[in-house]
Homo-oligomer: A and B are copies of this chain.
């Protein structure tokens, strides 16, 4: 495949992970005739919008370990990727593998990462930032690309305490990096690299990324759209679609207990309580936001690592609610879905939406991306349907 002069780069953090591997094969699948199921940008809602064609998205990215061929084989084994598509995409994987740049690992992953990523981990934050910018420039040049978008897909980072200046929308994040500690959140560096290179940044993870006021403000001033945080793919999506029903019938939710089981690399990472915390927080906050603090006497979210499920996330939720005259009733649901199959089309949607926003001159956090995220930056609305209204209105204004 020769570089296309109309192509845009889709630069993925965690490019060998399950979601990225599904995105890569998905692009190939779309080219070879698979219908775009799961992609909102391929529905009537976007029919009048000047979107970048999925044919013109070219994947590169960073990772700290792994092998794309192995990832693809594993996803085929788990019935997430069709085997014919995996066979068809061997050369594409070779091309992407040849361009992958080393990533910035979490300290606790030290033993698992390749030596180049380990080396990069030792650099001061500012030098890490420059290395990431160099990667972006290199990919743009070698692919003769018109532009690009960075999508963060790596596992959840540990929560870290940052200096208070990061909460200031007017602070200069590049200057703050000078006094950054050794153990600085990589997701912020990826965000800054994208912004400095004039590329939109999409954070599909619960890691901070561009959501800190100093980074969000910087993106606004630099005229670059940023989207995030934490892709809303499964149980939380259902919660935010269903909780409004209880609110709009004035039913009192007494308890909403959600039990999540998953078995992929994300699941293993979440066995670390420090990394689990951010994820749980995002998942648990949506109900009080929709139902009101007083309406939800008791909400709980747990995530358990069940290795045999691999990429298949199963959630069981129990909702105890009160109706007229104190009568107690219940609802429960089970959600059984492939994490990567749900996430991949959203990644494509978000990349196209980010490029669309950029083409219209949008700067800073894109509120219209709210329905795609568990914790949308600067948006308090958690009701999925109202988030869809925000998006719909934004599209109408733009078109």
Contacts and interface: CB of A to CB of B under 8 A. Distances in A.
A331 B338 contact: no
A244 B316 CA distance: 21
Given A302-B302, A334-B334, A245 B237 contact: yes
A306 interface: yes
B342 A324 contact: yes
A43 to B, nearest CB: 5
Contacts of A306: 255, 257, 298, 300, 320
A314 to B, nearest CB: 6
A85 B302 contact: no
Interface string A27-40: 00100001011111
Nearest to A42: B250
Interface string A236-271: 011001101100111110110101010000000000
A304 interface: yes
Identical subunits present: 4
A345 B327 CA distance: 12
A325 B250 contact: no
B80 A327 contact: yes
A83 interface: yes
Interface in A304-359: 304, 306-309, 314, 316, 318, 320, 322-338, 341-342, 344-345
A304 B298 CA distance: 11
A131 interface: no
A interface residue count range (under 10 / 10 to 19 / 20 to 34 / 35 or more): 35 or more
Contacts of A344: 324-325
A79 interface: yes
A386 B37 CA distance: 23
Contacts of A42: 250
Contacts of A342: 249, 323-324, 329
A116 interface: no
Interface in A95-141: none
A283 interface: no
Given A39-B250, A248-B388, A341 B320 contact: no
A261 B320 CA distance: 11
A325 B255 contact: no
Contacts of A330: 314, 334, 336-337
A26 interface: yes
Contacts of A386: 385
A245 B238 contact: yes
A13 interface: no
Contacts of A297: 307-308
A218 interface: no
A20 interface: no
Nearest to A23: B324
B323 A341 contact: yes
A341 B40 CA distance: 36
A81 interface: yes
A139 to B, nearest CB: 25
A216 B191 CA distance: 59
A320 to B, nearest CB: 5
A374 interface: no
Nearest to A335: B331
Contact of A38 (B238, B250, B304): B250
7 contacts: A37-B325, A79-B327, A237-B245, A261-B318, A329-B342, A331-B334, A332-B334
Given A38-B249, A85-B325, 12 more contacts: A34-B326, A40-B250, A79-B327, A80-B327, A244-B388, A255-B261, A298-B307, A298-B308, A314-B318, A327-B341, A329-B336, A332-B334
